[in-house]
Amino acid sequence: GQHPMRDPPLIPVELPGGGSTLVWSCAKADDCARIAAARDAMHAKDLEEHNRLLYVAMTRARDRLVIAPYTGRKEAPEAAWCEMVRRGLTARVGGLVLTQAPYGPTALWSNGESASDLPALPSPRIADAIEAPDWLTAPVETEAPSRAPVRPSSAAGRDRAGEGDPAIAAKLAGTLTHTLLQQLPGLRIDQRAAAARAFVAAGAPLLDPAAKDRIVAEVLGVLDVPALGPLFGPGSRAEVGVSGRVRVGSGWAPVSGQIDRLAVLPTEILVADFKTGAPPPVGQAAPDAYVTQLALYGALLRDIYPDRPVRALLIWTRDARIETFATVALEARLASIKAA
């Protein structure tokens, strides 16, 4: 906190044509006019930085600021931080007051009223006792238990095909397939095959090579279906979390789930669910569990987009088979759930 009293050995001097150079600092009495001006400019710049640092310290201190300069036989110079603060406090607050502190006598500045000069506060008034209302001691009414959240993927799980044989390889293949269907639409068509093979090789190094090839072929087959272009087009999204409430019977049930693929189009809403298991025989209806899942998604999406119909797609990746459910079919399935 003390302004430097010695000049550095080199002084920056501005040149007439622009720029600057360093000149050896000799005795101040030997300065020519240009070096003297450069020395004064250097002092002014140093003093400005010296004062700025004090300002930063005084404005950034959280609780207190301690200025503890070291002085020898000479008094602290006027530019020292302690002297600057002392002059400022003396000018604004007044003279020092000698006070006995635990560590010995010390001089303090005092500002404002002392605690002994403040007027005494009136004694607090005790409010009159009031009679407690009846509801304060009345028993709380028992609330009806809330419904457990309905998850579309398990809304009617007992009808789900293949649940009795959850082979590890099949689960791994399903995970890889869903991930590829999520990521590959963002790549150029000519990049998808190589990217899919590299991903499957890295994600399942121990999987049978034929199984790896089958996963890649199935995913590319789904992406190549022309009718699914809007589903994978710009603005579509994968793995979209949704939640809300759906009316079930006379009440409302909380619903939460994750949509495999969603496309919000100007004329309709497309929602798709991918199934990697064995599809049912051609002509046989899809399991009720899957239709229920799409119906619950459709109910949530109709609340978000009431001005557009919702079209649900059940896509079997094994053979790129697509089953379409319009709004009417989804509402019919939802009504059957309510009646059950």
CA 118 and chain centroid, separation: 50
Tens digits of per-residue pLDDT, 140-197? 776 555 555 666 665 544 334 333 334 688 889 999 999 999 999 999 999 999 999 9
The CATH label, of 3.40.50.1220, 3.40.50.970, 3.30.1600.10, 3.90.320.10, for the domain at 152-339 is: 3.90.320.10
Q: Which of 28-37, 220-229, 232-241, 295-304 has the lowest mean pLDDT?
A: 28-37
DSSP 68: -
The SS3 call for residue 335 is: helix
Cβ contact 310:272 at 8 Å: no
| pLDDT score for 144 | 56
Q: Locate 117 and state its tokens.
A: 């000069």
Checking if the pLDDT of 18 tops 90, the result is: no
- Does 335 have pLDDT greater than 60? yes
Residue 152, both tokens: 């579309």
Cα separation, 186 vs 232, whole angstroms:
9
- How crowded is the C-beta side of 92, counted as CA atoms within 13 Å? 8
- Per-residue confidence at 8, pLDDT binned at 50, 70, 90? confident
Region 259-271: what's the mean pLDDT? 94
Nearest to 321 by CA among 266, 259, 278, 288: 278
Average pLDDT rounded to a whole number, residues 254-282: 92
Position of tokens 């004694």? 123
Residue 280 has pLDDT above 70, yes or no: yes
Identity of the amino acid at 27:
A
In this predicted structure, what is the pLDDT of residue 165? 39
Angle at 325 between CA 322 and CA 330, to 5 degrees: 150
Q: Measured at the alpha carbon of residue 218, what is the angle toward residues 214 and 222, in degrees to the nearest 5?
A: 170
| E strand residue ranges, 81-185 | 97-101, 104-108
Q: How many CB atoms lie within 10 A of CB 232?
A: 19
DSSP-derived letter for residue 19 is S
Task: Note the helical H segments in the chain.
Answer: 33-60, 81-92, 168-183, 189-203, 209-223, 288-304, 327-339
Question: 13: pLDDT confidence band, cut at 50, 70 and 90?
Answer: confident
CA-nearest of 49, 48, 43, 55 to 85 is 55
3 against 306, higher pLDDT: 306
Average pLDDT over residues 130-142: 79
Q: Please report, to the nearest 10 degrees, the dihedral formed by the alpha carbons of residues 300, 297, 189, 175 taken in order.
A: 130
From residue 157, alpha-carbon distances to 152, 161, 164, 336 in Å are 9, 9, 11, 16
pTM, two decimal places: 0.52
Q: Give me the residue label for tokens 């899809």.
A: 286
Domain boundaries along the sequence of the chain: 10-93, 152-339
Please give the pLDDT value at position 24: 85
**Helices 327-339 and 288-304, axial angle in degrees (round to 10):** 110
For residues 121 and 101, what is the distance between their CA atoms, to the nearest angstrom?
A: 29
Beta carbons within 8 Å of 154's beta carbon, 6+ residues apart:
289
Query: Of the given ranges (58-62, 78-82, 91-95, 199-203), which has the lowest mean pLDDT?
Result: 91-95
